[in-house]
Amino acid sequence: RAAHLDRQVSIVRQPCWVGGPIFGMETPNVRQVAQSMEAKYASPRSLNGKGAPPTARGGNGVAELLAEPVLDRERLLNDTVNTGVMAALIGGFALSTMQMGMVVPGEAAEQLTVVIYMLSVVSVHMCTCSSLSSAFLYRQINALGDDAACVWAARHPLLLSLPMSKFAVGCMLYLSSVLCLSFYDLQEEPRAQRAMLAVGCGSLSMVAITAVVIARC
């Protein structure tokens, strides 16, 4: 592996230029990237809280170094912001479904419309809670320095996972409400109803499979 790495480094030893003479931006070669990552791993910012990985302590190559993620304050802030914004967006979609007037107080409602309303209500709760949790986490992380933020994050992994977990549940519930809504609205069109049912089930399955695959990586 070391010999293969030396060959890769020799291939890109000469700097390449992006944008030509106008921009003159030089891209780093493999050895520079490896040295930069080793410098990051030398600080106590590893996700597993064990300090530098085996590669930074004389391991066996850049591939192993790239395999372990680096935790830093900027990534934490970006993650919380992205989750909060997307959760607020999906929560707004679910709230608009609630305001369609499918369930009217004092009047009997069909069972499927009640299911759609309940799915939308829980989705709004989950997405709003995810957005608020992200805002609280962003405020906490933003108030800390680089190293202090990494230490704090390593001590609170469950707290950091709450916004994404609630957002994922809220999205699944929202997709389920859309599936039920299309099924209800297309009662007079059996072929379109079955087609939209297949699309909705496929969408839910893709989201669930993606979440499982990412969780197992």
Q: Are 111 and 184 in contact (CB under 8 A)?
A: no
pLDDT tens sequence across 63-104: 554 455 567 888 889 989 999 999 999 999 999 988 887 777
**pTM summary value:** 0.65
Q: What is the pLDDT of residue 36?
A: 57
pLDDT recorded at residue 91: 93
Q: What is the pLDDT of residues 109-152, one digit of tens each?
A: 788 888 999 999 999 999 999 999 999 999 999 998 888 888 88
193 has a pLDDT exceeding 80: yes
CB 187 within 8 A of CB 113: no
Q: What percent of the chain has pLDDT over 70?
A: 67
User: DSSP code of 18?
Assistant: E
pLDDT band at residue 32 under the 50/70/90 scheme: low
| Mean pLDDT, range 167-179, rounded to an integer | 93
| Spatial separation of the C-alpha atoms in residues 80 and 22, rounded to whole Å | 36
